[in-house]
Chain A
Amino acid sequence: MKEDNKIIFTGPVGVGKTTAISALSDIPIISTDAQASDMTLNRKGHTTVAMDYGILKLDEGTKIHLYGTPGQERFDFMWDILTTGGLGLILMLDNTRPNPKKDLHFFLHAFKDFIVNVPIVIGVSKTDIQAQPRIADYASMLPEVIADLRMLNPIPPIFEVDGRNKDDVKNMVMALLYSIDPGIGDQL
């Protein structure tokens, strides 16, 4: 039987979504990058204007589709389409942005209908450049940010990550899978 499932990576421009998907994908990722022409230019020379797409194959009939959403808010109309059939959401935050708490609020609310049914994992990048807010700060601001949301996992994993570090990316996805069902790993 053919099975297709999705894992969605989201977050602001330049956070490392494309790199994270590259770390998992069995194919060279299809990335619709273009020369940045707006405020994005300040953060990176190229940016994803449609989406990133990679594939993780389990076998010939089963693929996991890895989607990276475009970072800019003006593409948020695509997010509902992308999330249909998704296993879960990986939200990557950039600690060097001016207001990462606002980003956290924005993305959790943008995906509020999705994360009622699927778990979310939050990865905070660039903590080596900007240490604040710390992971504990994100965890303590979360109850206020999600007060009006219904989340499947209201205590989500919040990890420091580097999208270039494969182990970090793997741990985010493994945490996502265990958040769906902690019982799946009961073999050696």
Chain B
Amino acid sequence: MTKNPSNSDSIFIRSIGMDARKEAVFRMAFKMFTRRHYQLLDAGDTQTPAVTIIDVDGTEGIAIAQRLHDERPEQRILLTSVSPQADSMFPVLQKPVRMETLFPALESLLNGGSAPGKPAGRSGATVMPIRPEVTISALSTTIVPSPTTANPPAPKPVTAPTAMPRPVPVLRPEEIRHFNPQAGLLGLLQMIRRDQSPGVIVDDQQRIILQLDPMADQAILLTDDEHLKSLAREEHPRLQMRAPSNTDIPAHASTRHLTLQSLLWQMGAWTADGRLSQQLQINAPVQLKQWPNLTRLTMLPDALRLAAFLARSPASPALTVKMLHVEPHALFNFLAAADSLGLLRYNTAENPDNRIQPVMPNAPTVAEIPTAKRSFLGRLLARISGL
């Protein structure tokens, strides 16, 4: 039986029907919520979830939830959908999901609302479908393809939003942690990228971790993500770099192939782990030289918005948090990932070529977006992300 956790316990949440980007948004929301310690389970985790959140906008739709309920009637289920059904037997959150509705819904489920075995029906449910009036954007997408062939059903209307942005996250300079991007594994990888010469990275037992060919933009990984993540967080891992040889990778070795760009991007974010690069200052401007190739890189939370904002004009990290209401750790991870690919400009004495460039005098002025148009764009964004 699913127990009711106390406030100090980790409360495990399982997601179904969501891609990595959507899960990242939920993880971020759980991290921001301090009254309870929610934790989104990874695919391989074996803990019993207190609640399973199911995105029912995929091809299987509500059938996934029904199947889970049949198999495990005690399991608490919360649905998310762009167009919630009025007669849903499970509580449902309207997408895009907002913190203001997500946590009360979870709380209600954990406190016995829509009691296990007694799903919320049309009447008498303690947790009813939750449809916030505000429906602007979701950053994420579903992985389940939806049919685009002949005569698909007309979409459900996207309700008119009102502007209620996320609260501005609190940014306390004294609480900002820093990291050195030139140290550790990330430092070695950046050296290989800059020098454009192939290399292998080995541990203190001379076991190969990575083989890298920057000219071909290729990386061969001989270890798993968890190991790489732990190495990324060590400032002084016992790693060495040397020239590759033909016998580096045995024929039977288990390998994974990535582009070097993808590896650098991911390692930048893992190394930052919510910390700001020592090379950046919280109140000094940064600017994107070009957008990251985001269709072929791990989609970090808020990456599209951050790229759009920082490609448009230079802005300090502090201003970016204030303007976009992004979590500082998400911004710092994005900046570290972009910087690991050499995509950031910022003023440093050591690298005068990387200075912020003035805005071109003949550049068109970006007009302020009227409220009605912002509302329309928000609805369109929600519609696209829900496809």
Q: Does A179 contact B (CB under 8 A)?
A: yes
**Complex interface: stretch among B69-77, B157-165, B180-188, B277-285:** B157-165
Shortest beta-carbon distance from B347 to chain A in Å: 18
Overall SS of chain A's interface: mixed
Q: Does B11 contact A (CB under 8 A)?
A: no
Q: A62-B379, A174-B385, A188-B25 are in contact. List 5 more A-B contacts (CB 8 A).
A: A24-B384, A58-B155, A155-B311, A166-B148, A170-B387
For B289, the chain A residues whose CB sits under 8 A away are 139, 155
A185 touches B311 (CB 8 A): no
A188 touches B383 (CB 8 A): no
B295 touches A186 (CB 8 A): no
For B306, the chain A residues whose CB sits under 8 A away are 182
Overall SS of chain B's interface: loop
Shortest beta-carbon distance from B32 to chain A in Å: 9
A interface size (C-beta, 8 A)? 55
Residue of chain A at shortest CB distance from B363: A154
Convert A133-176 into 0s and 1s, putting 1 for each residue whose CB lies closer than 8 angstroms to a CB of B: 01110010000000000111111111111000011101111110
Centre residue among B291, B307, B379 by max chain A CB count within 10 A? B291
- Which residue numbers of B lie inside 8 Å of A, CB to CB? 25, 29, 96-99, 102, 134, 136-139, 141, 145-146, 148-152, 154-155, 157-158, 164-166, 217, 288-291, 293-296, 302, 304-309, 311-312, 323-326, 360, 362-364, 366, 369, 374, 376-381, 383-385, 387
Q: A187-B137, A188-B99 are contacts. A181–B369 as well, Cβ < 8 Å?
A: yes
B164 touches A187 (CB 8 A): yes
Centre residue among B136, B289, B380 by max chain A CB count within 10 A? B380
Q: A58-B379, A166-B387, A177-B377 are contacts. A183–B98 as well, Cβ < 8 Å?
A: no
Shortest beta-carbon distance from B59 to chain A in Å: 12
For A59, the chain B residues whose CB sits under 8 A away are 157-158
For A22, the chain B residues whose CB sits under 8 A away are 148
Shortest beta-carbon distance from B81 to chain A in Å: 15
Distance, CA A188 to CA B289, complexed state (A): 28
User: Which one of B102, B136, B380 lies within 8 Å of A58 (CB-CB)?
Assistant: B380
- Which residue numbers of A lie inside 8 Å of B, CB to CB? 3, 5, 22-28, 56-60, 62, 64, 116-117, 134-136, 139, 150-161, 166-168, 170-175, 177-188
Shortest beta-carbon distance from A182 to chain B in Å: 4
Residue of chain A at shortest CB distance from B135: A187
Distance, CA A154 to CA B359, complexed state (A): 10
Q: Can you offer 25 A-B residue contacts whose CB atoms are under 8 A?
A: A22-B148, A27-B152, A56-B380, A58-B157, A116-B364, A150-B362, A151-B364, A152-B366, A153-B312, A155-B289, A155-B291, A156-B291, A159-B296, A161-B295, A172-B295, A175-B294, A178-B308, A182-B306, A182-B308, A183-B165, A185-B302, A187-B136, A188-B25, A188-B97, A188-B98
Q: A117-B364, A150-B362, A166-B145 are contacts. A58–B158 as well, Cβ < 8 Å?
A: yes
For A60, the chain B residues whose CB sits under 8 A away are 157
Residue of chain B at shortest CB distance from A180: B377
> Would you list the 7 A-B pairs with minimal beta carbon distance, nearest first?
A59-B157, A178-B308, A139-B290, A182-B309, A182-B308, A186-B165, A155-B311
Q: A177-B384, A183-B374 are contacts. A159–B148 as well, Cβ < 8 Å?
A: no
Residue of chain A at shortest CB distance from B323: A183
